[in-house]
């Protein structure tokens, strides 16, 4: 869990590798308990609606331990809720000016321009601070441009919009270059300023032309697992030998017949191992970590992997090796080390 790794880094300046989410929570509880009798306040910021079940994991029976959660929506499972109101116009203007280091009474930025930006920020402190800091030291033209962009409209908060549609809108509102560099730069700027979260839910269409691709690595650095659509696009990649997926689930591994003929190594760091893993008939190496669905043993279809020579998994899953090794007599099962490297990807 990324959030637990960050807590470890903040508390003791180290980021351990966890075998599973359960292992991460257990180690966090041990760490907090070892801090002694000092009061502990754990602050979880900007928690989205529907993720309350994740918060339950952080409830530890530790003296003087409390949790403070901030969210844009009410979380009904918490016994005490304090609703914060947006800043009024006066306070919002003060925060914007302060963030932009504008001196009272000596600013060269017209009041009507500042009012438009304040109105566009909707009284949200983060939006006001980000806009103020980004406009610090900028000429009045930059301020007018920002005010005009705010007045052109915005999207409903927390609602997703696909990137091509966003590009189309920007092309109408702004004069962007034809190759899309400006639009992509805008996206990264929004993500850097925490004003947007970029989520890839499908493989880019141009991948079907990458017929020489041998290794595909997809990492999800977010808190929640992501589900990848159109995985069948990989059927056009006859030379693909290795796939590594981290916190990315897929509906099926076997909707791409060509993939079954070429894939030899697969590394998965996901909760649920695909049930049709046994259809990867030429698979030689299987690296899996944190597959919580395998609490009672490896999937029966694993015995169909006659070419499988090596399985690397966490210690909890490794104890189920014997039934599989009775069928796959040449199979070697190793326990994953905490510091996993990717040198195995470079093997021929």
60-97 pLDDT, tens digit each = 999 999 988 888 777 777 778 888 888 999 999 999 99
Closest CA to 241 of 285, 278, 279: 285
| pTM as predicted | 0.43
- Of the candidates 83, 64, 80, the one whose C-alpha atom is nearest the C-alpha of residue 72 is 83
Domains of the chain: 2-69 (no CATH), 89-192 (no CATH), 205-346 (3.80.10.10)
CA distances from 7 to 15, 32, 44, 177, 267 (A): 8, 10, 11, 42, 26
Within the chain, residue ranges assigned H as helices are 2-12, 21-33, 52-55, 89-99, 111-121, 125-134, 140-151, 163-173, 181-192, 257-262, 315-318, 321-325
Q: How many CB atoms lie within 10 A of CB 260?
A: 17
pLDDT of residue 336: 75
Does residue 341 carry a pLDDT above 90? no
Q: At residue 162, does pLDDT exceed 50?
A: yes
- How many CA within 13 A on the CB side of residue 155? 12
**DSSP single-letter state for residue 39:** -
Question: What are φ and ψ of residue 260, in 5° steps?
Answer: -65, -25
In the chain, the percentage of residues whose pLDDT exceeds 70 is 71
The pLDDT of residue 118: 92
Determine what percent of the chain is predicted with pLDDT higher than 90.
Answer: 11
Nearest to 113 by CA among 151, 134, 143, 137: 143
Give residues with Cβ within 8 angstroms of 236, minimum separation 6: 207, 208, 209, 211, 258
Beta bridge partners of 219: 246
Find out whether 97 and 104 touch, Cβ atoms under 8 Å. Answer: yes
User: Quick count: other Cβ atoms within 10 Å of Cβ 88?
Assistant: 10
In this predicted model, which residue has the larger pLDDT, 101 or 200? 101
pLDDT, residue 249, reads 73
Query: Which two tokens mark 31?
Result: 């760490």
Q: How far apart are CA 324 and CA 18, in angstroms?
A: 25
Distance between CA atoms of residues 59 and 81, nearest Å: 17
pLDDT bucket at 165, cuts 50 / 70 / 90: low
């Amino acid at each position: 869990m990324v959030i637990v790794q960050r807590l470890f880094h903040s508390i003791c300046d180290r980021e351990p590798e966890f075998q599973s989410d359960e292992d991460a929570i257990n180690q966090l509880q041990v760490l907090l308990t070892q801090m002694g009798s000092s009061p502990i306040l754990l602050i979880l910021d900007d928690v989205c609606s529907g993720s309350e079940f994740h918060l339950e994991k952080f409830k530890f029976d530790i003296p003087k331990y409390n949790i403070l959660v901030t969210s844009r929506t009410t979380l009904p499972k918490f016994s005490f809720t304090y609703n914060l109101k947006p800043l009024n116009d006066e306070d919002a203007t003060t925060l914007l000016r302060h963030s932009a280091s504008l001196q009272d009474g000596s600013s060269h930025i017209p009041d009507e321009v500042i009012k438009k930006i304040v109105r566009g920020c909707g009284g949200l402190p983060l939006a006001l601070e980000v806009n103020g800091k980004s406009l610090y030291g900028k000429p009045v033209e930059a301020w007018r441009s920002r005010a005009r962009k705010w007045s052109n409209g915005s999207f409903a908060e927390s609602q997703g919009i696909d990137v091509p549609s966003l590009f189309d809108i920007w092309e109408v509102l702004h004069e962007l270059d034809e190759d899309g560099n400006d639009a992509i730069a805008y996206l990264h700027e929004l993500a850097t300023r925490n004003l947007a979260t970029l989520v890839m839910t499908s493989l880019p269409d141009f991948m079907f032309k990458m017929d020489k691709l041998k290794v595909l690595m997809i990492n999800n650095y977010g808190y929640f697992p992501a589900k990848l659509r159109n995985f069948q696009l990989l059927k056009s990649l006859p030379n693909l030998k290795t796939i590594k997926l981290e916190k990315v689930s897929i509906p099926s591994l076997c909707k791409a017949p060509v993939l079954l003929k070429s894939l030899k190594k697969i590394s998965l760091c996901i909760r649920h191992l695909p049930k049709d893993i046994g259809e990867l008939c030429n698979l030689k190496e299987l690296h899996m970590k944190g597959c919580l669905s395998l609490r009672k043993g490896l999937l029966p279809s694993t015995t169909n992997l006659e070419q499988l020579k090596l399985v690397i998994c966490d210690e909890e899953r490794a104890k189920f090796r014997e039934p599989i090794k009775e069928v796959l007599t040449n199979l070697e099962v190793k326990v994953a080390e905490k510091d996993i490297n990717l040198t195995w990807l470079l093997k021929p």
